[in-house]
């Protein structure tokens, strides 16, 4: 007979505690067909629906699915063709708190009852969120699954896997003990914790390599590293590695030119925001799906054909304004290692505006601000090269 799955699961817990990784690994183990969607990358219903259809049904990228009725209709037709029979199928919506505010209520309501609306009982929907289920209005029965926060022992056990191959195990464990004593009071986000610990490890090793301190002198190494670790606390969630004697004094009210920007040490995430802003300013939104969604159908990025007239028009008109939702969608799409959406991360957009690298369009629209990129291709390309990012791969030329 046909497989019957629960209609809705709600997985929640703090950021970077393994919710998505464990779930996707489990789905692969049971050989379920699934569609994974990072909600922050789908800032419109159409992008959300078409990403799901492409992954589950393998439909052409030219299909249009603008509303929920179209989505339900397509699923019903596929069910009649036997596409779901005896095949567990799961839709994973990761980060539902990042859904567009204007339609998030409708989205959750429909997906919460998608099994009932389509009468496909082998189809299940899974919500993943950093927030409690009570923060959402979900008019459906769901199974809650909670992922608890990592303890200090959990961090120790996981971080040991990142030990360099040429490093002594006890030496690395002593460093982890020292670093966790400093960092665990500030952040329990594993992504940030791993970044902070691995970036400071060369500093911890330096006096041992020079012969100034013995590898077994734990107290001496602690006195050496603790000032650097405390200095790193100022850069949590900013993606900046502390470096002494490399500070560049700049006047934030002065316009940043191409040459000064090349020398200006922007934070790690701010660089990606600048790249995302440039792509949003010079690429039309209608090509976002082909350029940035990982499962965008049969069309390849390099085969996208744009009319010459459109290219000339874009160059003459200059940068076009874009919404914050679109900026975040592109940012998370081009980032290899996902960062938690925090106030510190969002403040980097404001910093780029203060540096006059971005311009904020209008003051009346508080909830939905729009921005425009003020720097040129050469400047952004230089920034992209410092990250090893191929900017031209995502430009329509």
Collect the ranges in the chain with pLDDT lower than 50: 1, 242-254, 258-259, 263, 298-308
pLDDT value, residue 287: 85
pLDDT digits (tens, 9 = 90+) for 183-192: 998 888 898 8
pLDDT value, residue 13: 95
pLDDT digits (tens, 9 = 90+) for 248-263: 334 444 455 544 555 4
pLDDT value, residue 62: 63
What is the SS3 string spanning 97-131?
HHCCCCCHHHHHHHHHCHHHHHCCCCEEEEEEECC
Q: How far is it, in rounded angstroms, from Cα 104 to Cα 230?
A: 40
pLDDT value, residue 54: 92
Same fold, 8-147 and 268-294+308-393: no
pLDDT value, residue 340: 75
pLDDT digits (tens, 9 = 90+) for 146-185: 999 999 999 999 999 999 999 999 999 999 999 999 999 8
Task: Please check whether the domain covering 268-294+308-393 is classified as CATH 1.10.287.
Answer: no
pLDDT value, residue 307: 45
pLDDT value, residue 61: 56
pLDDT value, residue 26: 96
pLDDT value, residue 157: 96
Class of the CATH domain delimited by 8-147: alpha beta
Q: How far is it, in rounded angstroms, from Cα 280 to Cα 373?
A: 8
pLDDT value, residue 248: 37
Task: Give the CA distances from residue 83 to residues 74, 75, 119, 200, in Å, rounded to whole numbers and listed in that order.
Answer: 11, 9, 13, 52
Domain extent listing, the chain: 8-147, 152-234, 268-294+308-393
Task: Give the CA distances from residue 381 to residues 98, 127, 280, 282, 344, in Å, rounded to whole numbers and listed in that order.
Answer: 29, 37, 15, 14, 25
pLDDT value, residue 110: 93
What is the SS3 string spanning the chain?
CCCCCCCEEEEEECCCCCHHHHHHHHHHHCCCEEEEEEHHHCCCHHHHHHHHHHHHHCCCCCCCCCCHHHHHHHHHHHHHCCCCCCCCEEEEEECHHHCCCCCHHHHHHHHHCHHHHHCCCCEEEEEEECCCHHHCCCCCCCEEEEECCCCHHHHHHHHHHHCCCCCCHHHHHHHHHHHHHHHCCCCCCHHHHHHHHHHHHHHHHHHHHHCCCCCCCHHHHHHHHHHHHHHHHHHCCCCCCCCCCCCCCCCCCCCCCHHHHHHCCCCHHHHHHHHHHHHHHHCCHHHHHHHHCCCCCCCCHHHCCCCHHHHHHHHHHCCCCEEHHHHHHHHHHHCCCCCCCCHHHHHHHHHHHHCCCEEEECCCCCCCCEEEECCCHHHHHHHHHHHCCCHHHHCCC
Q: How far is it, in rounded angstroms, from Cα 141 to Cα 7?
A: 8
């Amino acid at each position: 007979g046909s497989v019957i799955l629960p209609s809705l699961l709600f997985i929640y817990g703090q950021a970077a505690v393994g919710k998505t990784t464990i779930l996707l690994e489990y789905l692969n183990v049971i050989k379920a067909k699934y569609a994974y969607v990072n909600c922050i990358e789908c800032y419109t219903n159409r992008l959300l629906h078409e990403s799901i259809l492409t992954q589950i049904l393998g439909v052409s990228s030219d299909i249009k699915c603008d509303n929920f009725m179209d989505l339900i209709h397509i699923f019903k037709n596929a069910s009649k063709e036997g596409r779901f029979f005896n095949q567990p199928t799961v839709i994973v919506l990761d980060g539902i708190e990042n859904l567009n505010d204007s339609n998030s209520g409708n989205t959750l309501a429909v997906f919460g009852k998608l099994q009932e609306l389509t009468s496909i009982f082998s189809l299940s929907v899974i919500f993943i969120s950093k927030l409690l289920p009570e923060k959402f209005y979900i008019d459906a029965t769901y199974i809650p699954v909670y992922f608890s926060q990592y303890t200090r022992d959990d961090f120790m056990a996981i971080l040991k896997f990142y030990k360099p191959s040429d490093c002594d195990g006890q030496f690395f464990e002593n460093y982890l003990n020292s670093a966790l004593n400093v960092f665990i009071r500030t952040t329990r986000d594993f992504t940030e914790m791993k970044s902070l610990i691995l970036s400071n490890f060369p500093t911890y090793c330096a006096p041992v390599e020079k012969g100034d301190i013995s590898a077994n002198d734990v107290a001496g190494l602690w006195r050496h590293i603790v000032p650097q670790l405390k200095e790193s606390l100022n850069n949590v969630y900013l993606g900046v590695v502390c470096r002494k004697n490399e500070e560049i004094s700049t006047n934030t009210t002065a316009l940043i030119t191409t040459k000064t920007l090349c020398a200006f040490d922007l934070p790690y995430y701010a660089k990606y925001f600048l790249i995302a802003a440039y792509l949003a300013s010079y690429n039309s939104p209608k090509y976002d799906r082909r350029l940035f969604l990982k499962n965008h159908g049969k069309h390849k990025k390099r085969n996208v054909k744009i009319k010459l007239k459109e290219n000339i028009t874009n160059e003459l008109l200059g940068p076009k304004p874009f919404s914050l939702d679109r900026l975040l969608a592109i940012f998370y799409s081009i980032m290899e290692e996902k960062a938690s959406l925090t106030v510190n991360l969002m403040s980097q957009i404001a910093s780029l505006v203060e540096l006059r690298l971005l311009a904020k369009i209008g003051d009346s629209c508080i909830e939905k601000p729009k921005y425009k990129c003020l720097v040129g291709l050469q400047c952004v390309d230089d920034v992209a090269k410092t990250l090893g990012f191929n900017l031209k791969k995502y430009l329509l030329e």
